[in-house]
Structure 1
Amino acid sequence: MSARHHARGGVVIAVLDQMDAWEINLVLNLRLWCEGPTGRRAAWTDYANAVPYGDAERAWHDFERLVERVITTASRPLVRHQVTCNCVGSDEYIFLHLVRTASDGYLNDAALIATLLSGPAHAEHIALMAGEVGSALRHAHCKSNSISPVATAELVRLH
């Protein structure tokens, strides 16, 4: 990845410790998922522990479909920070903002936000998926304040 792409998606615009718990969970699970099989297992474990048993598989499947669609249709590689980093980069924050906006019911706005990560041909579908993911995470966090994303020491990404 060129330095230009690095700067475009990795610029720090927020910090995790000033976000809602479900938002932290979303960003950290995005980071874990992008790290490959080990990270995906850790993120799945988080979903399995956070979401009621019958809903965990569906919520995880929705999350995976959303991330896969965003990554495979992105105009450039998404930039993210290391799982243990408190910083939130611009690509990560756009993903979070997309999910938040869609799950708040503003699907037209969410589709516009999706175009920052993906092409316009995929924006509406991504917005719909983002709404499902956000609703599931918010619902899980409303039921339990003890949810905490899984951290792993073997991940390497931006600071």
Structure 2
Amino acid sequence: MTPSSTSRASHSPNDDIDGARGDLFDPQCPTRRLLDRIGTKWTSMAVKVLAEASPEEVRFAELQRRMAGISQKMLSVTLQGLARDGLVGRRVEATVPPRVYYRLTPLGLTLEEPLAALREWAEEHMAEVDRAHRRSREDAASSD
């Protein structure tokens, strides 16, 4: 039996709406759907900056300054997605030019802890991952 062919008999009627629980091979799996939405470095950085500022708001320009390397367009797309998913709140001051402020919502604040755990894992293990990657590249180059 393949992972995507597991029985759905134990799933609730809401699974059609909420997705198949625990089946990463199912496009409707909540974990897979979440990773599709927040699985970028820019999202992780935005959540970190906004969490550090919480409960205060952060202006768009300040977010861009603190997220080295992000373009204005990518930051805008990232924040729009987070706002659409209810993770970030947006406030616009009607000035010329408009001042736009962002903050994490209560739901968005709950995302900081798991992302912090992922950052901690990376800090502990990334050197090992890099060494394995380097060895793999060297092995591939020597077999050519």
TM-score (normalizing by structure 1): 0.28
TM-score (normalizing by structure 2): 0.30
Where relative contact order (Cα < 8 A, 6+ residues apart) is larger, the structure is 1
Higher gyration radius (CA): 2
- Higher helix residue share: 1
- Higher strand residue share: 2
